[in-house]
Structure 1
Amino acid sequence: MPKAKETVLEIDLKALEHNYHFLKSKLKPNTKFLAVVKAFAYGSDSATVAKKLQDLDVDYFAVAYVNEGVVLRDSGITKPILVLHPQPVNFKTLIERCLEPSLYNAKILKEFIAVADAENQTNYPVHIKFNTGLNRLGFWESDTDYISEHLKATKAVKAISVFSHLAASEDLTEIDFTKTQIKNFTAIADDLSSKLGHTLWRHLCNTSGVLNYPEAHFDMVRCGIGLYGFGNAPEYNTELKPIATLKSVISQIHKIEPEESVGYNRAYTSNGYEKTATIPIGHADGISRQFGLEKGAVFIQGKSAPIIGNVCMDMIMVNVTGIDCTEGDEVIVFNANHTASEFASTANTISYEILTAISQRVKRTFLH
């Protein structure tokens, strides 16, 4: 891999391909694979990642918001795109760009039918979201009569799938809760399909659901974090390859004396004669202040260098006492060996937050 000359997020598309094939190998041949590429493809680059997955013949994509789907269409993505959390103000754009909405409550259902009808649509594909325990978005199981009445009364839209979201599929202490979700979802899907008079695709599993609950793969699965290299369990993390490497360089080295302070609010005071390195990455780039005060660390010449003092907007300072390094040397924030999950754990957070927080001002480069 090329050495960094500036702060850069390096995306390994070969690792992405490996993760896709690993996850797909867990499915039955007829189970569709939906790739979740919301939030800039978990902080990487949604257009480039989606193009790679489209080349690998993924079946579907999902984004959170309509504008994310528009970016994919503008980038040449032709596969179906599910919008998980559409807002009514964007319904017309959604239809113009051939995106498919998740309809999750009565207001959204009625407003989308009205827009689709005004746009002279026939059988526009929609996905019906049910809440089975996450308590975030979704119709209740008692809403199937209401949904079926409204859908059967219009020719503008047609439900093609019914889905829900597992709340704790990665937590093996919550197996009973997850199995109850699966059971309830199955009953809801049966009920709605019966009332509509046609078969609906069913999809429930996220990455951890794919790995831990094969009985719930149904007609399609939705994989996000697994594609980017994390399986939420040690045994699966070894099978997956993190696709992102965040690295930077040393801008300046300081030699400081005992009792000297470093950074804003003098948050760090040296214990003796020490050496510090300043690195051009800060909380405006996604390295939040919670990693300061020696909680987080970076790697220089293969050695851990703790972040000292408060994280600045554009810079961090690290303790490189005892590390043979010089200005211009490469700095690893996270990579396949020192993962984003490990980095996140030092500040009591998760890989999802670290990956998606990487600012768009950080340059993206691509391998393979």
Structure 2
Amino acid sequence: MEALQRWAAYHRSKYEGSVIAITGSNGKTVVKEWFAQLWDSQKNGKLFRSPRSYNSQLGVALSLLMIEGDERVAFIEAGISQPGEMERLRQMIRPNVGVLTNIGDAHLQNFSSTAELESEKMLLFADCPLLIKADCTIQDINSQNLDLVLSIYRKLGLHHKPQQEIESLAMRLEIKEGINNSTIINDSYINDLASLTIALDYQNRLPKQRRVLIFSELEGGDYAQAAAIIARNNLDLFVGIGEGVFENRALFPTQSYFYKTTGDFFNLFDNKLISDSTILLKGSRKFAFEKISAHLSAKSHTTFMEVDLEQMAENLNRHRALLAKDCRTMAMVKANSYGSGSVEVAAMLERQKVDYLAVAYTDEGVTLRNGGIKTPIVVLNADPASYDAMVEANLEPEIYSLSSLLSFISTTRRYGLSSYPVHIKLDTGMHRLGFLENEIGELHKIISNQSYIKVASIFSHLAAADDPAQDEFTEGQIAKFRTMASELPAALWHICNSAGIERFPQAHFDMVRLGIGLYKDAISLKTRIVQIKNIAKDETIGYGRWGVAHKGMRLAILPIGYADGLNRRLGRGVGKVNVNGALCPIVGNVCMDTVMVDVSKVDCIEGDEAVIFGNSPAVEQVAAWLDTISYEVLTSVSSRIKRVYIN
């Protein structure tokens, strides 16, 4: 650790931009992320910020090493848990600008008082020429955080976007499917008034269900204030756990249940009370709310897909930064958002204010509407048999042939509709769906002689935008698209997919479609070792006895198989699984529900995590082993694998 921190300090010494360091008890990540959301890159240049909550001795060092050197500002988050830690962080960061959020009771366990905690945190700013503090006279925590963000911009003379673009951030939240058709938001990290306000605000922004709060004893703070915050949010059900909240139960809503311990909750609570609800678990670690989360989760399968919604938002905004200011974005959420879960991903994209969502089939669009999604939705494989359902759900069809055009006009006529938005697909060389050049005249004639539909956009699809060897073909497609689209009524034009966004800026036109680029590095498939055994030399393993221990082997069994989406072709040593940082080969055939892995060279125990794909091996590497593409790997993950959403 010491060597890594010295390296980080040296790397920081070579950076010539401004370093903003933020610390405090609450709100560090929120202020940093809001600052980034308001950053105007066209006027200010490039910004770096610490990823997620990388604020520890290790996290700060890693953050500093990520600075590329051409950023105008680097915004670094610093956190401590005990005396003596801040001086080591100060020596690495050496900030030009200091930012201090409020000082409260969070993380106080190793300090004698809030005064000692504040004194330790202030060491970060010992040599800092400018210190900006939160205005603690502002009672509402969100208003206080926003005021602090705007103060930073004002005092540094930086440009920011309109503050309406800020989206509230939920700290350290997991979102996953719960029992009885419920959704669980797990914030079982800390429980104080500041983070309670933020978490409830996040719960309010999710698709509407009954809203339930399961709440532990406060880590400092006033129960009357907590009760007032909760009352303002008009919950359908409140559950309090812990001696402190139990003793103050008279302050809370009448529709409430109270338990002195987490064990009492498990023994006495009726799970039917949380049916069809969005459940916020807001508790501190000592109350073991992670056990409540596991208890209320819909699937107990040890294997899970981890979906990092924050990384997706970063991917979205990285691609947006490549576009002209008035260029729109359509985000692809077809195939259950590439296997990651459609409603949850779509809700994040809606909060990020994408202009359109796109699905493959009508039933996918209906699912999004039923989940509360309001953003315009385009159905790419629009089947005439589903046009009625499409109209009823206010979905917009791709029109790709004269017959589909006439059929949809007939549907809108039956419903008595006019100017219903449709999206015209042109075939410029992909030769899937779409109008050919010789059909453009008839297409224009039909569109011009009716009032039931209007053309919202005209688009095509690039066949090889990611292959430089085929750029001549791609440029020919773009030229053909210009010619064909010019013969049709005015509408939005779009042809670029993820690769096209990055490689063909001249073809961004009015809108782009972001698909696989949205999901890069945001999805991991993980499981845990359920058994380890020692196999003697020459023993065989698995069906068909294809696995052979050529010498003594230490074998780990993982609860994932081809029924979960682990391709059978990864067996017999083709694929590898990451166990504690080492890639371990799959032994023998992949079974329906299990797989065996050689962990002879790894220090591991039962219960340790195993990564099927994520940071290592990346999904692209798994695809290469299978001689396929990452899309197939992602969309093959079974629905019986629970999805866990990280914000």
Match of 1:310 among 560, 578, 589: 589
Partner of 1:321: 600
1:121 aligns with 2:412: no
Partner of 1:213: 504
Letter of the 1:226 counterpart: G
Partner of 1:181: 477
Deviations 1:49-102 (A, max 9, x none): 111111111111100000111111111111111110011111001001110000
Match of 2:548 among 269, 281, 290: 269
The answer on whether the counterparts of 1:65 and 1:83 sit within 8 Å (CA) in structure 2 is: yes
Letter of the 1:28 counterpart: A
Partner of 2:428: 132
Note the C-alpha offset of 1:257.
1.5
Partner of 1:146: 442
Three-state SS of the structure 2 residue aligned to 1:85 is: coil
Match of 1:109 among 386, 405, 417: 405
Task: Give the greater-gyration-radius structure (CA).
Answer: 2
Distance in 1, Cα, partners of 2:318 & 2:588:
41
1:225 aligns with 2:521: no
Deviations 1:261-306 (A, max 9, x none): 1111111111011111110111111111111111111011111111
Note the C-alpha offset of 1:189.
0.5
Three-state SS of the structure 2 residue aligned to 1:192 is: coil
Distance in 2, Cα, partners of 1:203 & 1:298:
39
Note the C-alpha offset of 1:337.
4.2
Distance in 2, Cα, partners of 1:46 & 1:295:
31
The answer on whether the counterparts of 1:8 and 1:364 sit within 8 Å (CA) in structure 2 is: yes
The answer on whether the counterparts of 1:258 and 1:271 sit within 8 Å (CA) in structure 2 is: yes
The answer on whether the counterparts of 2:538 and 2:548 sit within 8 Å (CA) in structure 1 is: yes
Note the C-alpha offset of 1:152.
2.2
Partner of 1:236: none
**Structure-to-structure mapping, 1:197-212, within 5 angstroms:** 199-212=490-503
Partner of 1:170: 466
Partner of 1:98: 394
How many corresponding residue pairs? 351
Match of 1:359 among 625, 631, 638: 638
The answer on whether the counterparts of 2:578 and 2:616 sit within 8 Å (CA) in structure 1 is: no
Distance in 1, Cα, partners of 2:585 & 2:615:
19
Partner of 2:384: 88
Which blocks of at least 5 consecutive residues in structure 1 are unaligned? 194-198, 230-241
Three-state SS of the structure 1 residue aligned to 2:456 is: strand
Q: What RMSD, in angstroms, separates the aligned Cα atoms of the two structures?
A: 1.5
Distance in 1, Cα, partners of 2:642 & 2:345:
15
Partner of 2:350: 54
**Structure-to-structure mapping, 1:251-266, within 5 angstroms:** 251-266=530-545
Structure with the larger RCO, 1 or 2 (CA within 8 Å, 6+ apart): 1
Partner of 2:313: 17
When structure 1 is superposed on structure 2, of 336-345 and 349-358 the one drifting more is 336-345
Distance in 2, Cα, partners of 1:135 & 1:122:
31
Letter of the 2:373 counterpart: I
Partner of 2:375: 79
Match of 2:524 among 221, 226, 245: 245
Letter of the 2:645 counterpart: F
Distance in 2, Cα, partners of 1:306 & 1:263:
14
Give the alignment's TM-score, normalised by structure 2.
Answer: 0.53
Distance in 1, Cα, partners of 2:326 & 2:531:
56
Note the C-alpha offset of 1:153.
2.7
When structure 1 is superposed on structure 2, of 2-11 and 302-311 the one drifting more is 2-11
Which blocks of at least 5 consecutive residues in structure 2 are unaligned? 1-171, 175-289, 295-300
Partner of 1:330: 609
Distance in 1, Cα, partners of 2:563 & 2:616:
25
Letter of the 2:412 counterpart: A
Letter of the 1:223 counterpart: L
The answer on whether the counterparts of 2:384 and 2:407 sit within 8 Å (CA) in structure 1 is: yes
Three-state SS of the structure 1 residue aligned to 2:488 is: helix
Letter of the 2:500 counterpart: G
Give the alignment's TM-score, normalised by structure 1.
Answer: 0.93
Letter of the 1:116 counterpart: T
Distance in 1, Cα, partners of 2:530 & 2:383:
44
Note the C-alpha offset of 1:258.
1.8
Q: Segments of 4+ in structure 1 off by > 6 A?
A: 1-5
Deviations 1:163-190 (A, max 9, x none): 1000000000000000000000000000
Match of 1:63 among 349, 355, 359: 359
Distance in 2, Cα, partners of 1:105 & 1:174:
27
The answer on whether the counterparts of 1:243 and 1:336 sit within 8 Å (CA) in structure 2 is: no
Partner of 1:31: 327
